[in-house]
Structure 1
Amino acid sequence: MPFAQTGIAFFEEFVFNEVLLASGGLPLYQQFIRDHDGAAIDSPEFVAATEAYARLRGYTDPGMPGRNWTDTANLVINGDAGFILNGDWANAAFTSAGLVAGTDYECNIGFASHVMVMGSDALVFPTSGDAELMQAQDLLAATAISLEGQINFNSVKGSVPVRTDVDTSALNSCLAKAVAFVGTEGGATPWPSYYNSPERNLAVRDLITGFWNTPSMTAEQFRAQLKSTNAQYPN
């Protein structure tokens, strides 16, 4: 199959956002995702994005619904699919399979949109009066943020180091592309949850996954539902 898609709502939204970026660039993404401007939905670029998103269904396979991302990645790793659209964590799957970026496979940031959608994780420790526990917490935090810890962890997971003084020359070609995007003005933008309330996020995601999994729904019907949801959840 040309396109290996993960059959989970998060990843269906993931793909839609990348198609939106490819169609309208960062301005359209921010107009809808960040500014919640309903006029964006009527723009030619947004119309084109919804139609392109619908066409992508025809490039995947009947086994998609409910399939997790690791099994989806394995379709590409094993040569059963052409490409997968995923996050940096997929790097670990390809590396664990013994594949080398730039030699055994290639990668790109989205659909040639020249913008990378970014998220972040955090280590959060509960407060404690236990001196030994606090010392252990400090050690874990120091290890995670150390130069050695950053390069070792990110080389495997595929994420961009949080420190700017890390020597990134040891990162594979895929990670090098991501680092370059982060270092370019306008090269990265936050994931929608950084801009929206949980209620809006879930409502929009439900519409996207409903559209993806309902081939009989037209792109026009989907946009009409988005307009209604956009008005209902302004934040």
Structure 2
Amino acid sequence: MLFVGGVREVRLSIVGDEEFNTSHISRKLGGGHFKIERPDGTGEEWLVGERMHSPSPEARREVGEAVSRDKIKVSVAVPLKPRKANVEAGDTGTAVGQFWSYFPLQDRTSATAFFNAPWSVNDDRTTLLRNQYNREILSTVAEIFVEVVVRLSTAEDPALHFDYLPARGKEATYFGDEVLCALVPPLAVNEAIIPDGNGKLVRPPELRPLDPGCEWKISEAAHQDG
């Protein structure tokens, strides 16, 4: 429902000895802020960003006419309150990021968000293929992610969005996670993403040490160990 703008309500009914009825409603709260609401009024809130992506001619030739289009819609949904997985209940949670192609794929990412696109996938439609077509989409969704995630910052917790950023990539298991871990940090450097002493988000070059006379001397070894 987060990725299909024309669907606002989904109803599920199971007929039999143990009948079951439920529904979920997508409510627009403004500015890309959505709530997926359960029948009892509870639900989860998300920040959603989307963009039309144009694959390069090379990428389109790579995947063929069955997948290729001039423009495709790609989306990123960030949970306001990530939910931990409950393995016993079969709930994958929302704290660990996922790749979707309107349905969840098996691929995961250390970035806390859902990344939806008409990906180039394997024959089982379960995982992303390592190709240029997907790399280009990943570049676009990485940009959207950086734009959306900073909106999580609040006066009470101006650095809240740091918890959503991907890991360093050394432990990446999936192709998509590997690429996102490489793309997001360089993009973030050029955005107002770090809170200053007043809690205002600024670009990294705008930060100044509290002691103007302080000279920062960080060894190359420290960079490598960090």
Q: Which has the higher strand share?
A: 2
TM over 0.5: no
Larger relative contact order, structure 1 or 2 (CA cutoff 8 Å, min sep 6): 1
| TM-score (norm: length of structure 1) | 0.23
